Structures are given as C-alpha cells and as structure tokens.
Amino acid sequence: MELTYSLTACLAIFVLFIFSILLRNLASCAKNQPPSPPSLPLIGHLHLLKEPLNQTLQSLSAKYGEILLLRLGVRKALIVTSPSAVEECFTKNDIIFANRPRSLSSKHFSYNYTTISVAPYGDHWRNLRRLAALEIFSPARIAVFTGTRKTELMLLLRELMHKCNEGGGSTKVDLKSKFVELAFNILSMTMAGKRYYGENVADAEEARKARFLIREMLENSGRSNLGDYLPLLRWVDFKGLEKRFTTLMQRLDKFMQDMVDERKQLLAAGSNGSATMIDHLLSLQENEHEYYSDELIKGIIMVLLIAGTDTLSISLEWAMALLLNQPEAIKKIKAEIDAHVPEDRLLEEQDLPNLTYLQNVIKETLRLYPPVPLLIPHEASENCTVAGYHVSKGTMLLVNLWAIHRDPKLWEDPTKFIPERHQERRDDGFTMLPFGAGRRGCPGAGIGTRVLGLVLGTLVQVFEWERTSEEMVDMTEGRGFSIPKVEPLQAICRPRQAILQQHSLVPP
Ligand code: HEM
C-alpha cells in the first residue's frame, strides 16, 4: 500500500515537473527570446560546454549570435559577446545585473555569501564596496604599502641575482611559481605583515602548511559543479563534495583567524598600529565592533588574497611569455626605462605614468589573455531587455570578454601581440574590459596595473631575458575560471651589465 502511494506521488511530481517546464517554455516563446542552439531534455545545453569555456562560447556565439541564451540544466545563461550589449548590461541594466548567482563553492568559500565578490547586490555589498574604496583601494591606502611591494620585489631580484652568480652569470627560472609566490607575498605582507614563500619566511613549517592550503584555496574557489545546474545530481556526490568544501573552509577560516589573532596580539603588545591592512581594519573594529567583526575582516582578507594572487600571477606569466616570443618588445621597454629612469636607481611606481610603452604591453597582455575571461558570473535580479531581447529574472550573465578582445570586427590582426595598437586608441570601456565594468567591476584595477607595471618593468630593467630554447614559448591556454598557461613558463635571465655596475642596487 505504502509503495503504491510513493509511486503515485513520484509520478505526480514528475508530471508536474514536465508540465511546469512546458508552461515555462510556452511563456518564454511568447516573448522575444535571444537565439539558442537546439537543446536536450533536462540538461539543456550543458553537453555543449567543453573546456576551455571561453573558446567554446566564442564558437557558439559565432554560430548563433552575439547575444545567446543557453539552458544549463535548471539555470538560464545569457552569453554576451557584443560590446553594445555589454554596454547595455553595465549601464542601463547595471543594477539589475549587479547580483551574483549562488553556487555550492561560492556558498562555502564566502562565509555564507557575505564576502564582497559574491554577496548579493544590496546594503551589505554596497557597504563592503564603500569600505574597500575608502580603506583598501584609495590612493592614500595604496601609497601606504608602496614600500611593501618594493621590498617583496627586491627579495625576488636578490634571489635571481644570487642564482645567476651561482650559475656562472645566468640562471633558468620557473617564472610561473615565482610570480605566484611574489603576488601572494605582496598581498599577505600588505594584509598581515607575513610572507609565506622564499627564504625569508619567519616560520618555515607554518609557511609550508599554509602553502598547501593556499594552493587548494586557489584551485577550489570559483569552481562550478554540475550539481549547481542539475540539482538531482547533488544526491550523487553532493555529500562528498560538501564535506570536502566544508573541511577546506574550516582550515581556511583557521588560517585567516590566526592571521587576525596574531595582529591583535602584536597590537596589544604595543606594536606600531595600522602597519598592515588587518591592523587598519582592527582599528575600525574598536569603534564599530558589531560591523567590523572578525568574520567580516577574514572575508575581506580571503577574497583579496584569492582575487589578487591568481589575476596578478597569471597576467605576469602571459606578459613575460609574450615578451619572450617578441624580443623587440623587450628592447623597447628597456629603451623607454633607460630614457625615463635615472641609471643609479631602480624603477619606482611613480615612474609608471611616463612609461607608456610598458603600459601598452600590459594592456595588450590583458587584451589577449584577460585573467577573468568571462567575468565573475552576474545574475539578473529582475526581468529586463538586452538588445531588444527579453531576459528573465534569475538569468545568469556571462560576458565573453576574451572573445570581444579577439573580435576581428573590433581589432586588426586580433590574435597578434601589438602593444603599439593602444598608443592612439581611445578607451571606450566596452571593447576592452579586462577588469569588467559597472558597479561590480574590479575594485583592484588600480593596484593591479601598478603591480604589473612595477614587476614587469623592473625585471626587464635589471635582467636580460631569453627563452630556454630556440623554440617559441608554447602559448596553449588551459582550462578553468581564469586562463592559465598550460606549460608553466620558464626562462633564462642574466643581469644587465649596466645594473651590475650599479652593484649596490641589488647586492648578490
Ligand atoms: C590583472 C589584475 C586583475 C584583473 C584583470 C582583475 C579582473 C577582475 C574582473 C574581470 C572581475 C569581475 C568583474 C565583474 O564580475 O564584472 C574582478 C572582480 C574583483 N576583483 Fe579583480 N582583477 C585584478 C586584480 C585584482 C586585485 C589585485 C584585487 C585585490 C587585491 C582584486 C579584487 C577584486 C574583487 C574584490 C572583485 C569582486 C568585486 C565585486 O564583486 O564587487 N582584483 N576582477
């Protein structure tokens, strides 16, 4: 008897489910929907999504349209590859698209959707952005940490110099790992006054454990899972995945809490306050304890560490790879630096505005290899229209900026590395948007470009660089949320004669 009831109930739920899908489809047919490829029952277009996603979506857009609607299981996704539609999304519809879709990984790695990168649009997120603009990314706050960025870079230069000395004048460098280490050290020194990579770490064992955790953190944050699109699948590996994420987040939380507690102890012992970003946030906590809770501070540090490390290290790696394949560009950077920076000192951040060719190299790198090629997904909080098409509430927005940056209608020789193309170009914001646009655009753009300019410029000022063999550097793009280089970049460096003569700059 009970079995009959259960079977009837299951059948009824199934019929209702199919009926609701039919009704939904009928309702959407009545409206002007964006074009869409043929889809399969239940999974919709999920089977079409092969990695690298940016390239697959580019092919689908070329076939079906620059504004494309995909059904990814229970979710709808609007794929936009047209600058005018992007402009509409981030101007007229900016508030509507200022939401983020929820996912299993964002739930676990965001203190329950409260961190700046995934919090829904609303008072809490607006407060976080205001706080970030004022207390973290304002020119005054960025200036406070100029010395920290410089010190970390000098440590890398010294390490390379030392290895060159040992290697009889030159050394082979694993640039991928060096850039991850440098980016993370810059950020962790800024946040907590601690470094986790290199010979100068305070506690080698603690740093080793932290490095494992950091790698896991970078690999898992931003991951999407099939269960986000097919809730039925959650029952298959849901428990295992949830458990893995929960354990990882517990360890991450402890890592962040230790950072905060250590700063509290140092401050209590009378150390110089406001020396790190955490100190500064703790000083705000003194006056507004409820708002500036430890959890809020941990969430801020975690997001900045993740958002900054990946983007900076990946961009530096692509930039150097492009330069190694085009040594004339290295010569031009060198000539520009030699013309604008006095011989007896290394490049400083304040030199960057005078180094336009270097800036164009950075722009061209971010055009060809934007580290967040589809932006962080946005979500429509209301029905709206884009390019005359109806977009329903809850639709996810993916802007394929990788495809826009390589669109032959917008760029001559789009796949070629030509820094000069940016010389006369007016920034219109929607044909080139490596940092996104609108309310949800990257708040770290200013500091990001500064770090890229400082690191890249100084490496070229101090060393001669060449490929490890006659062969061109392999430029195959990997899979994932950001565009990593499949082959980790290696290169050979040797100190420039002019720098060796100024020996005291970078002691071996
Ligand atoms: C080359 C360097 C960087 C690039 C290309 C970059 C790019 C981006 C992009 C495309 C987004 C998503 C925008 C959107 O969804 O519309 C983003 C968001 C974000 N970025 Fe960056 N980023 C860089 C460096 C940084 C750095 C150094 C930090 C902080 C230390 C940072 C912090 C953030 C945060 C907090 C968000 C989330 C904003 C929000 O949801 O309100 N980024 N970034």
Q: How far is the CA of 375 from the centre of ligand 1 (A)?
A: 9
- Does residue 275 contact residue 193 with C-beta atoms inside 8 Å? yes
Cite the DSSP H helix spans in 341-409.
Answer: 356-368, 401-405
Residue 451 CA, closest ligand 1 atom number: 27
Ligand 1 pocket check for 372: Cβ under 6 Å: yes
- Does residue 419 contact residue 363 with C-beta atoms inside 8 Å? yes
pLDDT per position as a tens digit, 55-95: 999 999 999 999 999 999 999 999 999 999 999 999 999 99
Ligand 1 pocket check for 443: Cβ under 6 Å: yes
Ligand 1 pocket check for 375: Cβ under 6 Å: yes
Ligand 1 pocket check for 183: Cβ under 6 Å: no
Annotated binding site: 442
Q: How far is the CA of 61 from the centre of ligand 1 (A)?
A: 25
Ligand 1 pocket check for 222: Cβ under 6 Å: no
Residue 144 contacts by C-beta under 8 Å, 6 or more apart in sequence? Answer: none
Prior bond of 52 cis (ω within 30°): yes
What's the pLDDT at 314?
95
Q: How far is the CA of 482 from the centre of ligand 1 (A)?
A: 12
Burial (CB count <10 Å: 0-12, 13-18, 19+), residue 356:
middle
Distance CA 362, CA 25 (A): 45
Which among 30-44, 223-237, 274-288, 386-400 has the top mean pLDDT? 386-400
Residue 303 CA, closest ligand 1 atom number: 35
Which among 131-135, 445-449, 497-501 has the top mean pLDDT? 445-449
Ligand 1 pocket check for 299: Cβ under 6 Å: no
- Residue in 311, 447, 481 to alter for ligand 1 test, most ligand atoms within 8 A of Cβ: 311
Annotated binding site for heme: 442
Q: Is the pLDDT of residue 148 over 50?
A: yes
Give the pLDDT band (50/70/90) at residue 217: confident
- Does residue 73 contact residue 80 with C-beta atoms inside 8 Å? no
pTM given for the model: 0.92
pLDDT per position as a tens digit, 304-361: 998 999 899 999 999 999 999 999 999 999 999 999 999 889 999 999 999 999 999 9
- Angle CA(307)–CA(312)–CA(316) in degrees, nearest 5? 160
Q: How far is the CA of 486 from the centre of ligand 1 (A)?
A: 22
DSSP code string of 443-477: TTHHHHHHHHHHHHHHHHHHEEEE-SSSSPPP--B
Residue nearest to atom 3 of ligand 1 (CA): 311
Q: How far is the CA of 1 from the centre of ligand 1 (A)?
A: 58
Ligand 1 pocket check for 444: Cβ under 6 Å: yes
Residue 100 CA, closest ligand 1 atom number: 40
Q: How far is the CA of 156 from the centre of ligand 1 (A)?
A: 25
Q: How far is the CA of 307 from the centre of ligand 1 (A)?
A: 6
Ligand 1 pocket check for 309: Cβ under 6 Å: no
- In this structure, what token pair is assigned to residue 470? 């006659």
What's the pLDDT at 21?
52
Q: How far is the CA of 444 from the centre of ligand 1 (A)?
A: 6
What's the pLDDT at 503?
57
**Domains and their CATH numbers in the chain:** 33-505 (1.10.630.10)
Ligand 1 pocket check for 377: Cβ under 6 Å: no
